[in-house]
Amino acid sequence: MRRPTAAAFAAFALHVTALAQQLDLDPAAAGPADRIWSSNPDDQDVWLRRRFPLPDKVTTARLVFSCDNECRVLVNGKEVATAASWMDVTVVDLEQLDRDNVVAVEAKNTGGPGAFACWVLWTDAEGEARELISDVSWKVTTTATDIGDGWDAVAFDDSKWQTATASFNSVFGQNLYNGAPTTVHFRNRHSDSADTIAAGLRQLRRALSREAARAALDAIEKAVMAARTQLWREEQAEKARDSGR
């Protein structure tokens, strides 16, 4: 974990500002991250891990990544996102982090070079922006037999895995090869509802008949209600926890 220097950041300020603003982040919060892979660029299937203890109580953090070509990202054993294009950037809201955490990545190259770049961003107890980036502190294996049960869990013993190889770096807010991202995918617990609502809006824009418009509005309304119900349940659960203390 480190804080980027002002000098390192300055050169990239213009590029990172756009995504940082979207994320409601201080752009200085994120410097470049190493592009990592195994030591052999011809390896097509790669598993990566990085444990990150959090000294302070951190309830939410954001994980930002880009991968060449495909990957599945898990945090503390739970899949939080998949991605399939190095041209895209994915932003994931992480909730329910523990004192000891792990990011585990199953990555697949499908031609040309393979690489993965990642940032985990959070605010510490003093209000300071903190980050964990992909670098040579990550562990890597290319051997499927090394992937035992719970390879994506904090407790997994990755001492036999290799150290990741870093080559060049990726600028925060850009895709893996430092171009403007084609798409920025946002994933959080509202993503499924948001996707359904977005699909409903697309249907509504294309609706030629009242029936089609009604069907689109019904789908949107149902998704909105489901999202509101989820929030209400969360509130009730929080109240129950608070009163039980």
Q: Which positions touch Ca ion (CB under 5 A)?
A: 68-69, 109, 112
**Residue whose CB is less far from Ca ion, 42 or 211:** 42
Shortest distance, CB of residue 68 to Ca ion, whole angstroms?
4
Angstrom distance (rounded) from CA 176 to CA 163: 20
Shortest distance, CB of residue 111 to Ca ion, whole angstroms?
5
CA dihedral 184, 187, 192, 198 (to 10 degrees): -20
Shortest distance, CB of residue 203 to Ca ion, whole angstroms?
35
What values do phi and psi take at 201, rounded to 5? -65, -40
Angstrom distance (rounded) from CA 197 to CA 74: 26
**Residue whose CB is less far from Ca ion, 73 or 75:** 73
Shortest distance, CB of residue 112 to Ca ion, whole angstroms?
4
Contacts of 164 (CB under 8 A, 6+ apart): 36, 37, 38, 48, 134, 135, 136, 137, 138, 139, 140
* b/e per residue 22-55 (b: at least 16 CB within 10 A): ebebebbbbbbbbbbbbeeeebeebbbbbbbebe
Beta bridge partners of 73: 81, 105
Angstrom distance (rounded) from CA 169 to CA 50: 18
**Residue whose CB is less far from Ca ion, 55 or 112:** 112
**Residue whose CB is less far from Ca ion, 37 or 122:** 37
3-class secondary-structure state, position 145: helix
**Residue whose CB is less far from Ca ion, 68 or 158:** 68
Shortest distance, CB of residue 44 to Ca ion, whole angstroms?
9
Shortest distance, CB of residue 92 to Ca ion, whole angstroms?
22
**Residue whose CB is less far from Ca ion, 85 or 141:** 85
**Residue whose CB is less far from Ca ion, 107 or 154:** 107
Q: Give the CB-nearest residue to Ca ion.
A: 112
Angstrom distance (rounded) from CA 110 to CA 225: 41
Shortest distance, CB of residue 83 to Ca ion, whole angstroms?
13
Angstrom distance (rounded) from CA 48 to CA 133: 13
